[in-house]
Copies of this chain bind each other. A is one copy, B any other.
Amino acid sequence: MKIITFGEIMLRLQPFGFERFVQAREYEATFGGGEANVAVSLANFGKDASFVTGLPDNDIGKACLQELHRYGVSTEFVVQKSGRMGIYYCEKGASQRPSKVIYDRAGSVAAGLQVGDIDWKAVFADAEWFHFTGITPALSDNMAEVTLEACKAAKEMGVRISCDLNYRKKLWSKEKAGKVMGQLVPFVDLLIANEADADDVFGIKAAKSDVTKGEIDLEGYRSVAKQLTERFGCNMVAITLRESVSASRNLWSGLLYDGESMFVSKKYDMQIVDRVGGGDSFGAGLIYGLTEGYTPKDALEFAVAASCLKHSVEGDFNMVTVGEVQALAGGDGSGRVQR
């Protein structure tokens, strides 16, 4: 059965190596966006993933479609229109210098999708899961409506729903995010957030944890997860825990609350190749585990291992297999050569 993800995919333009924007004369040109990243990751795990979005009907949009096809993601429900493709410029940080992202996504075909553009009944036929992030409804008022339309259709058709809160302050205010997401999250079975999202969007705080320091207060997170499940009726809440030692090194773990127990994963000490898409790869790992019938604990460990590996892969997409994730989750993080 299919897994549907819905959102915007952008052209990602990144200076080579550690060059800064003002030094760049070439850009690596890849594609990425929260929900597309999840779809590609799931397709790499062998799942039947379909990504729904709007794309321009020009060669840039065509290149994007071909990139999705390369990884086996279905694009049968992608809407192609005249218009532009959203772009994000990404400068890779190192050590004490943070990575920097400049968005140029206003006016994209995806942001312009309207209620009625997508036949959600057709989309969800034969689907078992629907995933979106808080970025999708933040793109425009119409996209907020389309997302709501999708959630309603999915719920009606018995499709499970996951949402990654993913608050983006450049796209909307906390107030607006809280209001819009407050309408969407009640449809959600699995809610995913990072350390700061629940506070930014809903004002639910992880008491005493300071994200710029990277200290983790597990009890605080349990309380956040509990509040989220109680307020919105989600079955599960997952939280990624990133401890930023520097732009080059992060500690990475996650937790999953199923309404009763809170499972805490192993923690990985990561040298970072590319951390964009880290959260998305966690979401994809979790969806994989849950749709494959893993226990919550195993699904969490799979998700954290998958997203740990993502940090060693260039680009938004998590180019790893189930076998590779299982090998890491199963204990071998020694990085010895596989011959």
Whether A335 and B246, one on each chain, are in contact in the complex, defined by CB atoms closer than 8 angstroms, is: yes
Residues of A33-88 at the interface with B, using a CB-CB cut-off of 8 Å, are 58-60, 62-63, 66-67, 69-72, 84-85, 87
CA distance A59 to B338 in the complex (A): 13
Give the residues from 188 to 222 in chain A that come closer than 8 angstroms, CB to CB, to chain B. Answer: 211-214
A332-B212 contact in complex given A23-B319, A271-B94, A273-B18, C-beta closer than 8 Å: yes
In the assembled complex, the Cα of A172 lies from the Cα of B315 at a distance in Å of 37
Assess whether A21 is in contact with B60, with CB atoms less than 8 Å apart: yes
A89 on interface, CB distance cutoff 8 Å:
yes
Given the known A-B contacts A84-B104, A95-B270, are A23 and B315 also in contact in the complex, defined by CB atoms under 8 Å? Answer: yes
Copies in the complex: 6
Partner of A69, one of B70, B103, B211, B320: B70
A85: chain B residues within 8 A (beta carbon): 104
B-chain residues with CB within 8 Å of residue A106 when the two chains form the complex: 84, 107
Q: In whole angstroms, what is the CA distance A87 to B334 when docked? A: 26
Q: How far is the CA of A21 from the CA of B93 in the complex (A)?
A: 25
Name the distance in Å between A69's Cβ and chain B's nearest Cβ: 5
Q: Are A95 and B273 in contact (CB under 8 A)?
A: yes
The residue in chain B whose Cβ has the minimal distance to the Cβ of A72 is: B69
Interface size on A, residues (CB 8 A): 88
Given contacts A214-B334, A247-B335, whether A319 and B22 have CB atoms under 8 Å apart is yes
With A107-B106, A214-B334, A334-B245: A70-B66 Cβ-Cβ less than 8 Å: yes
Contact with B along A96-113 (1 / 0, CB 8 A): 111111111011000000
A211 to B320, CA, bound (A): 24
Closest to A107 in B: B107
Q: Please determine whether A312 and B214 come into contact, CB atoms closer than 8 angstroms.
A: no
Which stretch (A24-32, A119-127, A289-297) binds chain B?
A24-32
Residues A297-323 near B (CB distance < 8 A): 305, 308-309, 311-315, 319-320
- Report chain B residues within 8 Å CB of A312: 18, 93-97, 247
Q: Are B29 and A27 in contact, CB atoms less than 8 angstroms apart?
A: yes
Q: Is A275's CB within 8 Å of the partner chain B?
A: yes
The minimal Cβ–Cβ distance linking A298 to chain B, given in whole angstroms, is 18
Chain B CB within 10 Å, residue with most, of A21, A97, A315: A97
User: Counting CB contacts under 8 A, is A268 at the interface?
Assistant: yes
| Docked pose: A214 CA to B336 CA in angstroms | 10
Taking the nearest CB of chain B, how far is it from the CB of A277, in angstroms?
11
| Shortest CB distance A47–B (Å) | 16
17 more CB-based (< 8 A) A-B contacts, given A18-B312, A67-B70 = A13-B27, A23-B314, A25-B29, A26-B29, A59-B91, A59-B100, A93-B312, A95-B270, A95-B312, A98-B334, A106-B107, A170-B339, A212-B331, A212-B334, A244-B335, A246-B271, A246-B333
Show 7 A/B contacts (Cβ-Cβ < 8 Å), sorted by A: A21-B63, A26-B27, A94-B271, A97-B313, A245-B335, A247-B312, A247-B336
Chain A interface (Cβ within 8 Å of chain B)?
A: 13, 17-30, 58-60, 62-63, 66-67, 69-72, 84-85, 87, 89, 91, 93-104, 106-107, 168-170, 211-214, 242, 244-249, 268-273, 275-276, 305, 308-309, 311-315, 319-320, 324, 328, 331-339
